[in-house]
Structure 1
Amino acid sequence: PRMGERLPESIVQVHSSKYRHPGQLPEGEVLVVGSGQSGCQIAEDLHLAGRKVHLIVGSAPRCPRVYRGRDSVDWLADLGQYDLPVENHPLKEKVRKKANHYLTGRDGGRDIDLRRFALEGMKLYSRLEAVSGGRLQFRDDLKQNLDSADAVYNGICGLIDKHIAENKIDAPAGTHYSPLWEPGAPVRDLDPVAAGITSVIWATGFHSDWSWVDLPIFDGAGYPTHTRGVTSMDGLYVLGLPWLHSWGSGRFVGVGRDAAYLAARIGEHLGVRRRGPVKLDVAV
């Protein structure tokens, strides 16, 4: 992001997509900006390697890796969560801009608990508001962001508990999360050089590049407007976007359904009658 240009030149800056291992960074403390999946997993990797880590915590939610004997993804699939259409979500189309839940597949998979990391020495901060004069300026929302992530975590546990009870499923007992640590007085301003920070990893995500599509299908934020992948332009369709139609649209579990739906719409557009099941080459 542009605010990185205002950091001291002595600080090495790396985007999360370029991070590979702790050894690629100079000696000293590391600031990770962003607590989505990449940010949390990179912060954990650095932390486990013995590096001193500073993590800027955003509004990304979290969920259990394994709960009551099964991976949470399996439970959520059974609950139909990946089939939930975007129009039935409480946030409607705004959910498309929300970050995914943070957890990890490392060492077979486990939760990521930022509060536990804080107890072990990782320094957590509210969202970054600005960089001025080489100093970092933060909002005052660390507690809110941690509490919100934990509320989502426990909400998912509650959904699974209800599903197990209603369907009389034999499953081991589960425990909801209780906070291990609470933040103290918020840090609103930080001199990164004085704090010993020598490198920054920007785990702030990506922006879509639609510059190559010179057609009037975009909203004021530059996002293509569509209904289940069908745009307002006759014959133009989009596929593979997060929450294109459902939570599963951005995952293998749902993209095939979206593709089949759009294939049918394209066939209708071209006047093609389906004469049997469509067979796809698995290598495609």
Structure 2
Amino acid sequence: MSAHVPVAVVGGGQAGLAVSWYLAESGVDHVVLEAQTPMHHWSDTRWDAFTLVTPNWHCRLPGHPYDGDDPDGFMTRDEVVAWLDRWLEDFHPPLRTHTRATRLKHAPDGGWELTVVPDGGEPQTLTCDEVVVATGGYQVPIIPPYAARIPARIEQIHSAQYRNPEQLPDGAVLVVGTGQSGAQIAEDLHLAGRTVHLAVGGAPRVARSYRGRDVMTWLADMGLYDTPVAQYPGGAPAREKTNHYVTGRDGGRDIDLRAFAREGMQLHGQLVDCDGAALRFAPTLAAALDAADAVYNSICADIDRHIEREGLDAPPPSRYEPVWRPETEPTEVDLASAGITSVVWAIGYRPDWSWIEASAFDGAGRPMQTRGISEVPGLSFVGLPWMHTWGSGRFIGIDTDARHVADVVARRVGVAGGLRLAASG
């Protein structure tokens, strides 16, 4: 590895490689550092029945839009991996795999100094003028402290480790969390005939299709994926919201937890503790289900207004009505009596910026940035949820974000006029 390179991109996921694509096209000398293999999270942290929740046409990377024959469908995990592999067949980034960045600090003579460690090797020092951090916002799986009080006989895994129902021991499964992963994993287990206890959090839900089209296609037409976070309804706090749960499985459908309950899934409020023998839940189930349905109906109403405003021809409107309501909300469940033998934690991740020695983060630990460009000269970010728009953490927004970051970086390292591209192709 060269001792100095003008630009270092840390992270070889789709966001970091998209920046690399633009830098390469503009002739900017750079290196991409990846701790494992490029875009490995798609194969390493998704379960066997995983599908995208956004339509395939949302998938677009620099020079590589979706190239299949089902733009309105939902690729499986393996199809996404194959699509990404085809991108790398034509695009050969200056990639250093199995090379982890462990420290970033200001260099004594200006610019940056990176400490990098190849697998099985000794730490090396790389200097650069610009650093683009593309490690994403989902780095450290969250497992609460009280998990240590759950008996050792009960197997515990994070959603990133879940692959299929067969990997878990016989018996009932507790799934904690109802974001996209938790809701879909609960469904996967339920469809396999497992007894599922689901601790329902505050995630909203959304219809899969409405008035003749996929809801996310409607939302794209309405400009929601392109609206900057500062202009988004609710403003910057929107960054803290959990994504809506829905599924692309079997061609795409709603996830209705009330329907699952009617079929035998045991729903509970938020899990708050375990005393070794019993789980303790907050009495929040009814309110959480009502709130999720309210968001569902609100989004449909927004689409109704869009259809009316634009004078579009569409099937008539409708409104979701609950198919089940909890009669009671028990706040304690005995593990042995319930037959629970495993727990899947699906309560998300937290970022880890501890390796970056720079005043680039706010009091909540979020990077202080505008469209990926931080307030610290020479330090940029890409691939963060809500970095610029709702689409920033999704395939639909990566190309635009990466191009902007690469353009700024190219100008700062002396490429006249920034990127020499008219479009991503």
1:81 and 1:113 mapped to 2: Cα distance?
A: 24
1:79 and 1:281 mapped to 2: Cα distance?
A: 23
Q: 2:158 is matched with which residue? A: 15
Q: Deviation digits for residues 203-256 of structure 1, max 9, x if unmatched? A: 111111212212121222322121221212111111110110111111122122
1:173 and 1:250 mapped to 2: Cα distance?
A: 33
For residues 135-174 of structure 1, what are the structure 2 equivalents within 5 Å?
135-174=278-317
Aligned residues: 282
Richer in strand (by share):
2
Mean CA deviation greater in 79-88 or 133-142: 133-142
1:166 and 1:277 mapped to 2: Cα distance?
A: 39
Q: Deviation digits for residues 44-84 of structure 1, max 9, x if unmatched? A: 11111111110000011110111111111110000001012
Structure 1 residue runs without a partner (length 5+): none
1:279 and 1:39 mapped to 2: Cα distance?
A: 41
Structure 1 residues 175, 217: CA separation in 2 closer, same or farther (over 3 Å shift)? same
Q: 1:246 is matched with which residue? A: 389
Q: 2:81 is matched with which residue? A: none
Q: Secondary structure at the match of 2:205?
A: coil
Structure 2 residue runs without a partner (length 5+): 1-142
Q: 2:257 is matched with which residue? A: 114
For residues 1-284 of structure 1, what are the structure 2 equivalents within 5 Å?
1=143, 2-274=145-417, 277-278=420-421
2:183 and 2:205 mapped to 1: Cα distance?
A: 10
> In structure 2, what residue type is equivalent to 1:33?
V
Identity %: 52
1:28 and 1:212 mapped to 2: Cα distance?
A: 41
Q: TM-score if structure 2 supplies the norm length?
A: 0.63
1:241 and 1:91 mapped to 2: Cα distance?
A: 19
Q: TM-score if structure 1 supplies the norm length?
A: 0.93
1:31 and 1:75 mapped to 2: Cα distance?
A: 35
Q: How far 1:275 sits from its partner (Å)?
A: 7.2
Mean CA deviation greater in 262-271 or 78-87: 262-271
| Contact persistence 2:271–2:282 (CA under 8 A) | yes
Q: How far 1:281 sits from its partner (Å)?
A: 8.6
Q: How far 1:101 sits from its partner (Å)?
A: 0.6
Q: Secondary structure at the match of 1:193?
A: helix
